[in-house]
Amino acid sequence: MKIFHICSECAPFAKAGGMADALLGLLRETKKLGHDVQLILPKYRFLKLDELRKLDTLNMRYDHKECVNQLWSASYEEIPLLLIEPKTSEAFFERDHIYGEPDDVERFSYFAKAAASYLERLSCSPDVIHLHDWHASLVPALYKKALSILTIHNLGYPGVISKESLEKLEIPDWEIFRCRDYYSLLQGGIISADQITTVSPAYSKEILQPESGGDFCHLLHHYQEKLVGILNGIDYTYWNPQSDPLIPYHYNSTQLEGKKETKKFLQKRLQLEEKECILVGAVTRLVEQKGPRLIKSAVEKTVEAGGQFLLLGSAQDSNIRALFSELQTTLAPSRSLHIELQYNEELAHHIFAASDLFIVPSIFEPCGLTQMIAMRYGTVPLVRATGGLGDTVFEEKNGFLFGPPEEAALHHALTRAFACWRNAPEKWDALKMNGMREDFSWREPARKYLALYDHKLYSRKK
Ligand code: ADP
């Protein structure tokens, strides 16, 4: 099959979050299975790719004028990439970051239209176009020559666009983007794509309820027939405690000494008291979705119970930063916690490997990768039962769960986890082993996507 992905991110050269990892995992695995996969991406200024090759140009209508795009080709692990560089005065991708610009919606809607124009002029169309989140969800409204799959990685980002910006795109049917009193690019994608997927089965059901689905709940109900959830995988080569170059000691499910050594190494390095106690970790973006107040409460509860806590959280919001800086100051004398409010790849690996328990108390979580990474590193997850967290963590089997997003429920689960670690080491080991033996690689998810493409292509031909 010839499959084109259109996305704003791809690990490792254009990564902002979990979507970038998911895309690389899916590309790699489907390529390994013999399919012709390609990726269309904006040509960001900061891309570091070998052997960029200048191709021809692509003309397109935008904002009532003719615009020119320079096309480039490159490859990553032999996956062909087509990069689009708009030659417009807005310099849409000559920026330092993937997101966070005031004109993000114009940048990516422009990119999506350019991607559709590129596809349109191909002499041989792909079998499948696979679009990711709102950034690419304009494409199926414009390009109809291939089966279109739209994956919703996070419904919390609907790609709200003003009428003026939508008009700039000069598209025929923009009423499909109208959602209540605003316009959403994601909505147009939901309506026009042949198939919608979400990144876990539980999330595909949750978004049919008003609490999670919000303004899209009724629309998604209407299109329920074409909605399915496929759990993301994690990269088993990159996340591997047996060979991870970023951790000081290696280990596997039969040889766990290295995990103990990594815990001691980190206690020393981060100047925590070098004692035998439960070590709890969290690696996250500190945004409301991830339950920052619950994380803070878990830190306090852990220290109070005699444990230690390692928190690595990238935080932009000044209130959230203040919350954790204050906590660090208050609890510093205990030598029981280390808080780092930034993105740090190496420390993330250390925390996954050194911790005993890993917490993910998200308010909502479309899939979540960190609970799966933790299990791969023999670290028992404690999560809120929402979205992909509830699809991967099971009480009494591989971790601890709590329901309501409230401190009492979280504390109850922490108390169970602390008691199990202290009083039932055999049970703890069993949870750890079960997690390590799970297969969260891309093997299964990639096969599920391919089966879905096949099935939909077959139904289209009939
Ligand atoms: P999301 O995409 O919503 O941020 P996921 O759980 O799907 O959450 O993916 C998060 C990915 O980003 C994981 O690979 C995790 O290790 C990494 N990550 C998150 N925050 C940090 C951080 N502060 N430092 C290093 N890595 C981080």
**pLDDT tens column, 337-383:** 999 999 899 999 999 999 999 999 999 999 999 999 999 999 999 99
User: Closest ligand 1 atom to the C-alpha of 289?
Assistant: 3
> Is the pLDDT score of 462 beyond 80?
no
Highest mean pLDDT among 55-59, 235-239, 285-289: 55-59
Q: Tell whether the model's pLDDT for residue 461 goes beyond 90.
A: no
Band of residue 117 on the pLDDT scale cut at 50, 70, 90: very high
Q: Which of 337-341, 418-422, 457-461 has the lowest mean pLDDT?
A: 457-461
Nearest ligand 1 atom to the CA of 368 is 6
CA-proximal residue: ligand 1, atom 10 (nearest): 18
181 CA to middle of ligand 1, Å? Answer: 33
Q: Which residue has the least CA distance to atom 15 on ligand 1? A: 370
Ligand 1 centre to CA of 260 (Å) is 24
Nearest CA to ligand 1 atom 20: 284
Cα angle vertex 426, ends 423, 428, to 5°?
A: 75
Percent of the chain surpassing pLDDT 90: 95
In this predicted structure, the answer to whether residue 144 has a pLDDT above a threshold of 90 is yes
**pLDDT score for 326:** 95
Give the Å distance between the CA of 343 and the centre of ligand 1: 9
Pairing of strands 400-402, 380-384: parallel
C-alpha 458 – ligand 1 centre gap (Å): 37
Atom of ligand 1 nearest to the CA of 340: 23
| Mean pLDDT, residues 118-138 taken together | 98
pLDDT of residue 460: 81
Spacing, Cα 310 to ligand 1 middle (Å): 15
Band (pLDDT 50/70/90 cuts) for residue 296 is very high
Angle between helix axes 345-354 and 257-269 (nearest 10 degrees) is 130
Residue 33 is predicted with a pLDDT of 96
Ligand 1: nearest atom to the Cα of 312: 23
Q: Name the residue at shortest CA distance from atom 11 of ligand 1.
A: 18
Q: Whose CA is nearest to atom 4 of ligand 1?
A: 17
pLDDT exceeds 90 at position 51 = no
Instruction: Give the mean pLDDT of 82-110.
Output: 96
119-132 mean pLDDT: 97
Whether residue 153 contacts residue 129, with contact meaning beta carbons closer than 8 Å, is answered with no
Positive or negative CA dihedral for 153, 154, 155, 157? negative
d(CA 385, CA 422): 24
Q: Mean pLDDT of all residues in the chain? A: 96
Q: Which residues pair with 178 in a beta bridge?
A: 183
Task: Give the predicted TM-score (pTM) of the model.
Answer: 0.94
407-423 and 425-437 helices cross at what angle (nearest 10)?
110
* pLDDT confidence of residue 172: 85
How many angstroms does the Cα of residue 122 sit away from the middle of ligand 1? 36
Q: What are phi and psi of 42, to 5 degrees?
A: -65, 150
CA 284 to ligand 1 centroid distance, Å? 5
**Residue 111 and residue 92 in contact, taking contact as beta carbons nearer than 8 Å:** yes
Atom 18 of ligand 1: nearest residue by CA position: 284
- Ligand 1 atom at minimal distance to the Cα of residue 342: 23
pLDDT at 45: 96
Label residue 17 by pLDDT band (50, 70, 90). Answer: confident
pLDDT at 262: 98
Residue nearest to atom 2 of ligand 1 (CA): 18
For ligand 1, atom 1: residue with the closest CA? 18
Q: Is the pLDDT score of 442 beyond 80?
A: yes
Give the confidence band of 316 by pLDDT, cuts at 50, 70, 90: confident
Distance from residue 346's CA to the centre of ligand 1 (Å): 12
The yes-or-no verdict on residue 304 having pLDDT over 90 is: yes
Q: Which residues line ligand 1 (CB under 6 A)?
A: 17-18, 21, 283-285, 312-314, 343-345, 348, 367-370
Ligand 1 centroid, distance to 298 Cα (angstroms): 19
Identify which of 339, 360, 369 to mutate to test ligand 1's pocket (most ligand atoms within 8 A of the CB): 369
Cβ atoms 388, 367 nearer than 8 A: yes
Query: What is the band of 50 on the pLDDT scale with cuts at 50, 70, 90?
Result: confident
- What string of DSSP letters covers 112-160? HHHHHHHHHT-SS--SEEEEEHHHHTTHHHH--SSEEEEEES-TT---E
Separation CA 195–CA 213 (nearest Å): 18
- Sign (positive/negative) of CA torsion 7, 127, 79, 124? negative
At residue 141's C-alpha, the angle toward residues 388 and 55, to 5°, is 95
Mean pLDDT, range 109-129, rounded to an integer? 98
pLDDT at 167 over 90: yes
Residue 57's alpha-carbon distances to 42, 74, 150, 370, in angstroms, are 14, 16, 27, 41
CA separation for the pair 299, 315 (Å, rounded): 17
- R_g (Cα) of the chain, nearest Å: 23
